[in-house]
Amino acid sequence: MSNKVCVFGSFNLDIVAGMARFPQPGESLIARTSMMGAGGKGANQAIAALKAGARVHYIGKVGRDDFGQFARRHLDSAGFDAVTLFSTGERPTGNALIYVAGEDAENMIAVDPGANLTVTDQEIDQCRPAIAAADILLTQLENNLSAVTRAIALAREAGTPVILNPAPFQPVPDTLLPQLFLLTPNATECSLLSGVTVTDVPSARQAAEVLHRKGVAALIITLGTQGALLSMNGETTLIPACRATPVDTTGAGDAFNGALAARLAAGATLIQAARFASAYAAVCVERPGAAASMPEYAEALARQQACA
């Protein structure tokens, strides 16, 4: 393994307000805090993979606007092996308005995907060498499905294993599922994909059986504080959640997926990678922000050892 992760996914500019509680319709509340920073599931997961030890090639698309200039500065300074950033003048750079509220630091998010939904097959085809050179392709559903499907097809041609994090949820054709090395839904996304309402570990096992029948080879269903269920080869393993004191849960899923991809690219087994990813996400949620909250490899390793 060359420890290379290729991440195709969204870039958003995040504007975050910390609140005592969520506002009611028509209500104005004074925020406790506010911040602006880099986000988007693709960029967040790329940063997580990088900090978790991988060599990362990030592929995304932004608008030709001030937010797009912000994206370029952020991505150029991140430390990636390579960045392929397409642009359009027809749509704005993706952006997200985020409320974080309450003692559990739950979040409420409104996203304008903007340029993220305009990636063409021709642009993806330009990335064929990067996808072929990677140990893992990690992608999500915050871009147009046609581009995601094309990237997965190129990975299959090259023999590059694909992790699909099906977030934010959009319907995907069942024909896409057998092409994946690993599917990583949360409880809500798993419910929508399988038709089984996932609320706990037993219902997650039922949903996993449905998805395996649809051709999914392996999946990890993240269940928040209940941990994560790994299902493959007819067996399930519950990966315990590491203890955390949440400050902002916005980037938890992205932290998990980026760290998971990094460890798999380094040659770890699925169980080993999932245990590390759980610890990595636990450190992430104790900090504000999304990309800015991703911990270093050593921090997550120390948390994993403390969780054992």
| Residues recognised as catalytic | 254
Backbone dihedral angles phi then psi of residue 200, each to the nearest 5 degrees:
-155, -175
Is 195 assigned to a binding site? no
Q: Pairing state of beta strands 182-183 and 162-164?
A: parallel
Rounded to whole angstroms, how far apart are CA atoms 34 and 120?
35
| 3-class state of residue 28 by DSSP | coil
200, 226 Cβ separation under 8 angstroms: yes
DSSP 140: -
Contacts of 305 (CB under 8 A, 6+ apart): none
Q: Is 215 annotated as a binding residue?
A: no
Handedness of CA 70, 73, 79, 84 (dihedral sign): positive
Residue 128, annotated as binding a ligand: no
Annotated binding residue 89: no
Residue 218 Cα to chain centre, angstroms = 17
According to the annotation, is 257 in a ligand binding site?
Answer: no
**222 labelled binding-site residue:** yes
Answer whether the bond into residue 92 is a cis peptide, omega within 30°.
no
**Of residues 275, 172, 165, the one with CA closest to residue 214:** 172
Is 253 annotated in some ligand binding site?
yes
Distance, CA of 132 to CA of 34 (rounded, Å): 40
43 labeled binding residue: yes
60 annotated to bind ligand: no
Check the annotation: does 243 bind a ligand: no
**How does DSSP classify residue 118?**
G
Determine whether the annotation assigns residue 225 to a binding site. Answer: yes
Residue matched to tokens 């380094």: 266
Any binding-site annotation on 135?
A: no
Q: Is position 12 annotated in a ligand binding site? A: yes
Q: Is 120 annotated as contributing to ligand binding?
A: no
Output the known binding site.
12-14, 40-44, 142, 186, 222-227, 248, 250, 253-254, 284, 287, 289, 293
Q: Point out the annotated binding site for substrate.
A: 12-14, 40-44, 142, 254
Which segments are annotated as binding site for K(+)? 248, 250, 284, 287, 289, 293
- Residues belonging to the binding site for ATP are 186, 222-227, 253-254
